[in-house]
Structure 1
Amino acid sequence: MRLQRNILLAFEACFVAAAVAQSSASCSTTLTARYPAPSIADGYQARLVATNLDTPRGIKVDSNGNLLVVTRDVGIVALSLTDEEGGCVTSTNVQTVVENNRLNHGIELSQDGTTLYASTPNEVYAWTYDPNTRRTSGEPTTLITGMDNAGHTTRTLLLSRHVPDLLLVSRGSNANLDDLALDVTSGHCQLKAFNISNVTSEPYDFTADGRLLGWGLRNSVGVGEEPVTGGIYTVENSVDQLRREGRDIHQDNPGEELNFHGYLNGTSSAQQGGNYGYPSCFAAWAVDEIPQNDQLTVGSQFAIGDQNTNTNDAVCAERIAPRLTFPAHMAPLDILFNEDGTAAWVSFHGSWNRDDPIGYKLSVIPFANGEPVEPSNSSQPTVDIMQNPDVGECPDNCFRPVGLAWDTQGRLFMTSDDTGEIYVITRTDGGNTSSATPTTGLPPAGTSSGGAAASTTASAASGATGSLSALLLAVAVVCLSL
């Protein structure tokens, strides 16, 4: 009986596989990348929906399902989407929403979808926005100013869903090592929240105003709010060209960081407003390569350069350590939680300052009860979902992830700035990409890169007692012929 059941399942799997293949082939428009096709984890598929954009960075989906994308040297553009059978998604036209070539990354929408926010290196603006026409009206309101840097110029924006009047703004460092960040009053390398319901005719000054959520943050480009508890997390790009006690250790140290910044609703948190170490202290990744590494583990804060009475590992141990640490030079640029808080998706833009390239991938951090499942010293903090098959070809011949956004169907959209592309990542079983298990961040058990068909076939094969049965071989022949 078990063998018969498995044979029936195998036949069913063959026909489902054929249906999946046919539906994929039915897309009226198929865009092709100029580089090797990305590798995708079992249970997911990735398709290009737009190409030839001007350095697409931050991305949001408006209430009508349009993609709003910050493109450097242009401003903000809107892309209409067309859905077809088989999960095919194509962009039908591109319309300029805001012309401002100083906009470079940050973008946000109000919960009702009628106010659009975006940032230059120095200002945060707000426009009245109509999702039906995909246009703004009137002149923008300047909400925040006073953020100019010579170095890192992106100003990531996040509008809290738990405390809707609070707009979070991240400001990075002036250089690789920015000594101004040692002074909390400088406004450099900080994450702040601003009550935009209280804006008067004078905009906020970033340095003097706002609620401090953290300082000593070199360049926290990705900012996310865990949806269940409201906890605020950032992903930080750490320092390049690091030396310790005269030795160059920059290949694998320091690690990039996932930092926790407390809550916006008044819930007490020891981390909120604290010092995260930069420019003196950094997170260890490859501990064995760090000179004088006594008592250091992955994620430990350690001192840069030559240790002295003012800068040493004991002082650094008093700084706020990351909740998780990633390999050096991965360059995380966005963090986006799924709808039930069981996974945080992170885009890793990839390295520029490492002999062997690293990163260039989309990954998931499993979450439970408002925090990562993995311990803070984990050396395997993520589950990879989409990556380039040969990072040795990067950065010139691969995609480079930046911005992430959900649409109302739970599909994940991702920009790739260097290649001028937008991908959509969907589930092969038809479920929401935003659904994930709390232990792996992957789709529910039983899905694979071949969809339900492949998982059913695998189940049938494992249950059969006669793997060389002539009947099963016949089934295999039928499968191959479909």
Structure 2
Amino acid sequence: MMRSLLLIGAAAVALSAWDAQADPAQHGPDPDLPEPQRGLLPTMKIPRPAGWGDERPIVPQGYRIEAIATDLMIPRQTLVLPNGDILVAEGSGGGAPALRPKDIIANFIKALGKSPVKGGNRLTLLRDADGDGTYEAQGVFADNLNAPYGLAFANDAIYVANQDALVRFDYADGQTQASGPPELVTDLPSAINHHWTKALTASPDGRFLYVGIGSNSNITERGMDAEVDRAVVWQVDAETGRHKRFATGLRNPTALAIQPGTDQLWAVVNERDEIGPDLVPDYLTSVQEGGFYGWPYSYWGQNVDPRAQPQDPAKVEAAIRPDYGLGSHVAALGLAFSSPVMGAEFAEGVFVGEHGSWNRSDPSGYKVIFVPFQDGKPAGEPVDFVTGFLTADGDNTRGRPVGVTVDPRGALIVADDLANTVWRVSVDRPQPAAALEPDGSQSLQ
């Protein structure tokens, strides 16, 4: 069986009708969009896992990176609690049945780039009691969850978006374990679960929760009935659980965040596959209430995707262009607004965790980037912030970033679901200079 799958995987590459050549300029508000290319099979290549050994990811000069938790069970997203403790959602969900032979091939190829560890279905709590950047305490805050992914804190409660339900735990400052099972806020669409992750954030006043729900297919292969309440962001009343569709046409909104000082919701979205290595760019965008973002009928505004049938010209005409392209197939899964604690160069903008491609011969993603903002909007080229996951030849990867969270104490927290590690990136402040006392001894200034 394994030999057959390997032969099929090799055939996937050999039969591909396209391959990545020179990458087009796909970052920013007006990315290059080449002509769609369709063939029998798309290119399918994923870097194989490789251990870190004595190495660690690369960060800009003036910053340092440390592993603050290892040997986890598929860490996805993190949440910094008011007292500085960090919660880590660990789990793996999905399991939608394959529809076509190439789905079987794609699933096999994707699995080659994943950790063999079983998802923990739990929340792990990390504590740095003395604030020195070393998290000396680690324990399970809650378990027996169902593929937890999105996390939010509001109303003195921890909210968790499982793959099938939004739940809450009452929380007292400093608590290290849940006091009981979670309370159901509302069920979430979970039939088939082609895209199983449920992103989550809370409004500044805690009144509403926003849940990102991905599509049930790449481009409606299961029919539109399977896409009811899919490819959407829900707005959920935190007290009652009542919900409505806040925005639609977002193929897979994998991370959500509120822009500081505003009520503006932002998302990173994974776009569609199988029309070429450079289509369609994943994106970062503000999310407008009532807005429609194209899926499945069109991409990047009014670029029609004829695979979606029947077409809806009125929907295409209404489709909103995203704010900022991130590049095709980077698989953006993390989003966090920065603050001055991250240093002047990275004070205004967002960090984006890019899990990495499986369907390009030249891998894309596999890093954390910083998108600078000016006047409240993305402005300029992205900056690599955490790299070194991919080996130089692109054939192997030591890790795959998922969630990113800014710690107000001055660090970026990065979940890595391949190395099963949580990384902490902080400003590498210089040690105090030594000065001579009058007696000739040294003191620290």
- How high is the TM-score relative to the length of structure 2? 0.71
Partner of 1:187: 229
Whether the 8 Å contact between 1:39 and 1:386 is mirrored in structure 2 is yes
Give 1:345's match in structure 2, choosing from 338, 347, 351.
Answer: 351
Whether the 8 Å contact between 2:389 and 2:399 is mirrored in structure 1 is no
Cα deviations by residue, 1:178-210 (Å, 9 ceiling, x for unpaired): 36896899211100111212x1xxxx4xxxx52
Matches within 5 A, 1:295-310: 301-305=302-306, 310=311
Partner of 2:385: 385
Partner of 1:282: 299
Matches within 5 A, 1:17-416: 33-34=52-53, 36-72=55-91, 73-74=119-120, 75-81=122-128, 89-110=133-154, 114-150=156-192, 151-161=194-204, 163-178=205-220, 186-197=228-239, 199=240, 204=241, 209-242=242-275, 250-262=276-288, 272-283=289-300, 301-305=302-306, 310=311, 316=316, 318-339=318-339, 342-374=348-380, 380=381, 382-388=382-388, 390-391=390-391, 396-416=396-416
Structure 2 counterpart SS, 1:275 = coil
Between the aligned partners of 2:224 and 2:308, the Cα distance in structure 1 is 17
Between the aligned partners of 2:315 and 2:229, the Cα distance in structure 1 is 22
Deviation (angstroms), 1:91: 2.4
Deviation (angstroms), 1:383: 1.3
Aligned length: 348
Q: Which amino acid aligns with 2:291?
A: G
Which structure: greater helix fraction?
A: 1
Question: Could you say if the C-alpha distance between residues 120 and 309 of structure 1 is closer, same or farther in structure 2, counting changes exceeding 3 Å?
Answer: closer
Whether the 8 Å contact between 1:181 and 1:189 is mirrored in structure 2 is no
Partner of 1:462: none
Whether the 8 Å contact between 1:356 and 1:392 is mirrored in structure 2 is no
Partner of 2:31: none
Deviation (angstroms), 1:356: 1.3
Between the aligned partners of 1:123 and 1:308, the Cα distance in structure 2 is 31
Matches within 5 A, 1:378-457: 380=381, 382-388=382-388, 390-391=390-391, 396-429=396-429
Question: Could you say if the C-alpha distance between residues 185 and 328 of structure 1 is closer, same or farther in structure 2, counting changes exceeding 3 Å?
Answer: closer
Deviation (angstroms), 1:228: 2.3
Whether the 8 Å contact between 1:224 and 1:234 is mirrored in structure 2 is yes
Whether the 8 Å contact between 1:58 and 1:404 is mirrored in structure 2 is yes
Whether the 8 Å contact between 2:282 and 2:329 is mirrored in structure 1 is yes
Cα deviations by residue, 1:78-102 (Å, 9 ceiling, x for unpaired): 1122557xxx622223211111241
Between the aligned partners of 2:267 and 2:391, the Cα distance in structure 1 is 25
Partner of 1:28: none
Q: Which amino acid aligns with 2:87?
A: L
Q: Which amino acid aligns with 1:282?
A: Y
Between the aligned partners of 1:120 and 1:308, the Cα distance in structure 2 is 31
What are the ranges of 5 or more consecutive residues in structure 1 without an aligned counterpart?
Answer: 1-31, 243-249, 263-271, 284-299, 375-379, 431-450, 454-482
Deviation (angstroms), 1:143: 0.6
Question: Could you say if the C-alpha distance between residues 63 and 186 of structure 1 is closer, same or farther in structure 2, counting changes exceeding 3 Å?
Answer: same
Question: Could you say if the C-alpha distance between residues 390 and 127 of structure 1 is closer, same or farther in structure 2, counting changes exceeding 3 Å?
Answer: closer
Between the aligned partners of 1:408 and 1:310, the Cα distance in structure 2 is 47
Between the aligned partners of 1:100 and 1:395, the Cα distance in structure 2 is 36
Larger radius of gyration: 1
- How high is the TM-score relative to the length of structure 1? 0.66
Cα deviations by residue, 1:245-265 (Å, 9 ceiling, x for unpaired): xxxxx2111100112113xxx
Between the aligned partners of 2:244 and 2:307, the Cα distance in structure 1 is 34
